[in-house]
Amino acid sequence: MKLNGEQYHDRVTAWLTGFAIFWSLLGMASGVYVAAELVWPTIDFGHEWLSYGRLRNLHTNTVIFGFGISALMATAFYSVQRTCHVPLFAPRLAWFCALGWQAGMLGGGISLLAGWNGGKEYAELEWPFDIAIAVIWISFAIVFFGTIAKRRIQPIYVSNWFYGALIIVVAMLHIVNSLAIPVTWSKSYSLFAGTQDAVVQWWYGHNAVGFLLTGGFLGMLYYFLPKHADRPIWSYRLSIIAFWAFTYSYIWAGPHHLHYNAVPEWVQSLGMVMSLVLLAPSWATLVNGVMTVAGAWEKLRTDPALKFIVLSLAFYGLATFEGPMMAIKSVNVVSHFTDWTIGHVHSGALGWNALITFGTFYFLLPRLVGAELYSTRLANWHFWLALAGVMLYVLAMWGAGVSQGLLWLSLDEIGELSYSFKDIMASMKPYYALRMVAGFTFFAGAVLMAFNLWMTAKGRRIVCIAPPPPVREGA
């Protein structure tokens, strides 16, 4: 029986999940290739499109925007309908949003390989793509907030606050940071210059990390963790406090990317202090997540999806502790411009973002097609490969980064550098080789997941699911 013939629109979620898996494989493969280029620099074979400078941008754009955003759109569309007890608002616009995003990522990826580049990290795509992204993002906002506006239950569940913040803040960051004067179809110049450009860029860059890679995925956590564990979030009040503390603090933290640069001292200090303040909301969420699972530990033995989510929580705690520590200026003097930063980013991106998304996909796809997961054994293999990959990666980059930082700071008795840049880089080869192996291990696990989920969904149709009946007042 269906409620007024209404059904949730889940086909768009299923397609977005498939696209996200495709981008994750492409992004990780290009990441492993650029890691190999740092070990064997000649394997670009003289082709510009295989060069580190172009493939590295393809890697970051496909994993963050292709994989990450597709996964966030999929889970936002899935959860907002259910937490509002209504089907999606404007489902055709949701399809435009989903398919438009894929077209933009495909065109954007090709443009990066062709050498179009705006020169801003994590905002490399040129102005035609910036405009397309803004249009698609606004359509995402209309579908999401339209669904919330027509909800049948009064409370707006906490996951929707995080997804909502993702949509609003990323729109603001993207539009302001992309303001530019186009000179040709493939080239534009930023409206900002010099130090102002750097401040705007890292206001964008760090908050893209904050509201996309942290806030957006916290939306995923707050919906899918209670679903997995089959129990409500441990403290709903704490989740609301964590949301507002997170939103209020994160927006100021960007200047820690500009320590010891030509920005005013007080701006750097403000960035450092607000980064330290961020520890409170981050760990409030960590505590809330761990306590939610606390009564369901036995499920970890049988549910591979929950394993991924619990492990992602551990890496979330690690990365959100390490980040504020690295923002302290006396620590940053060692870590800045070293591979420690790359290790930190990947403990968050692989350990937190990718693992929670994998766990969510293992939960989501079988439910969407009404089937059991094709192979729990393969999912367990994936879990161990992912854990080995991320641990090896982080340890290699910590070793490389701390070595680089300390060697660069080392002076001889007459105050000159003890080691040349060339010597230090030559000593990095074992760490870079280990990073390549780690990346390949993580990628191999993702290939297993793609095969497992493909076999789960193969030949099946999306199950029809309806909202629950309305609750009558006083009932």
Partner 1 sequence: MIWFLFLGDMLVMAFMAALAVWALWGSSDKAVDQAAGIPLNDERRDG
Examine residue 153 and tell whether it contacts partner 1 (CB under 8 A): yes
Residue in 60, 70, 83, 268 binding partner 1, rule: CB under 8 A: 83
Residues 345-374 that bind partner 1 (CB under 8 A): 370
Q: How far is the CB of 58 from partner 1 (least distance, A)?
A: 36
Cβ atoms of 265 and 283 within 8 Å: the answer is no
Q: How far is the CB of 227 from partner 1 (least distance, A)?
A: 5
What separation in angstroms does the CA of 115 have from each of 49, 70, 184, 186? 8, 24, 14, 9
Examine residue 8 and tell whether it contacts partner 1 (CB under 8 A): yes
Examine residue 233 and tell whether it contacts partner 1 (CB under 8 A): yes
181: three-class secondary structure by DSSP: strand
User: What is the per-residue burial (b if ≥16 Cβ within 10 Å, else e) of 74-83?
Assistant: bbbbbbbbbb
The letter for the amino acid at 219 is G
Judged by CB under 8 A, the number of residues near partner 1 is 41
Q: How far is the CB of 355 from partner 1 (least distance, A)?
A: 20
Q: How remote is the C-alpha of 56 from its chain's centroid?
A: 16
Q: If you ran DSSP here, which 8-state letter would residue 418 be given?
A: S
Examine residue 329 and tell whether it contacts partner 1 (CB under 8 A): no
Examine residue 79 and tell whether it contacts partner 1 (CB under 8 A): yes
Nearer to partner 1, 35 or 242 (CB): 242
Examine residue 295 and tell whether it contacts partner 1 (CB under 8 A): no
Tokens of residue 437, six digits: 């192996």
Q: How far is the CB of 286 from partner 1 (least distance, A)?
A: 18
SS (H, E, C) 56-125: HHHHHHHHHHHHHHHHHHHHHHHHHHHHHCCCCCCHHHHHHHHHHHHHHHHHHHHHHHCCCCCCCCCCCC
Examine residue 388 and tell whether it contacts partner 1 (CB under 8 A): no
Examine residue 174 and tell whether it contacts partner 1 (CB under 8 A): no
Cβ atoms of 206 and 195 within 8 Å: the answer is no
User: What is the per-residue burial (b if ≥16 Cβ within 10 Å, else e) of 399-431?
Assistant: bbbbbbbebbeeeeeeeeeebeeeebeeebeeb
Nearer to partner 1, 167 or 368 (CB): 368
Examine residue 266 and tell whether it contacts partner 1 (CB under 8 A): yes
Examine residue 29 and tell whether it contacts partner 1 (CB under 8 A): no
Examine residue 77 and tell whether it contacts partner 1 (CB under 8 A): no
C-alpha 74/C-alpha 17 separation (Å) is: 6
* Maximal C-alpha separation, the chain: 84
Examine residue 259 and tell whether it contacts partner 1 (CB under 8 A): no
Residue in 249, 268, 338, 441 binding partner 1, rule: CB under 8 A: 249
Q: How far is the CB of 19 from partner 1 (least distance, A)?
A: 23
Q: How far is the CB of 274 from partner 1 (least distance, A)?
A: 8
State the Cα angle at 364 between 358 and 367, rounded to 5°: 145
Examine residue 273 and tell whether it contacts partner 1 (CB under 8 A): yes
Nearer to partner 1, 246 or 362 (CB): 246
The letter for the amino acid at 247 is T
Examine residue 149 and tell whether it contacts partner 1 (CB under 8 A): no
Residue in 132, 134, 241, 371 binding partner 1, rule: CB under 8 A: 241
Residue in 158, 258, 327, 462 binding partner 1, rule: CB under 8 A: 158
8: three-class secondary structure by DSSP: coil
Cβ atoms of 353 and 309 within 8 Å: the answer is no
Examine residue 466 and tell whether it contacts partner 1 (CB under 8 A): yes
Residue in 157, 352, 393, 431 binding partner 1, rule: CB under 8 A: 157
Examine residue 2 and tell whether it contacts partner 1 (CB under 8 A): yes
Segment lying near partner 1 (by CB under 8 A), choices 43-51, 94-102, 116-124, 227-235: 227-235
Segment lying near partner 1 (by CB under 8 A), choices 25-33, 304-312, 411-419, 467-475: 467-475
Element (H, E) at 183: strand 180-184
Q: How far is the CB of 363 from partner 1 (least distance, A)?
A: 12
User: What is the per-residue burial (b if ≥16 Cβ within 10 Å, else e) of 104-135?
Assistant: bbeebbebbbeebbbebebbbbbbbbbebbee
Segment lying near partner 1 (by CB under 8 A), choices 57-65, 242-250, 314-322, 391-399: 242-250
Write out the DSSP string of 313-331. HHHHHHHHHHHHHHHSHHH
Binding region for partner 1 (CB under 8 A):
1-3, 8, 79, 82-83, 85, 153, 155, 157-159, 223, 226-227, 230-233, 236-237, 240-241, 244-245, 248-249, 266, 269-270, 273, 277, 370, 463-469
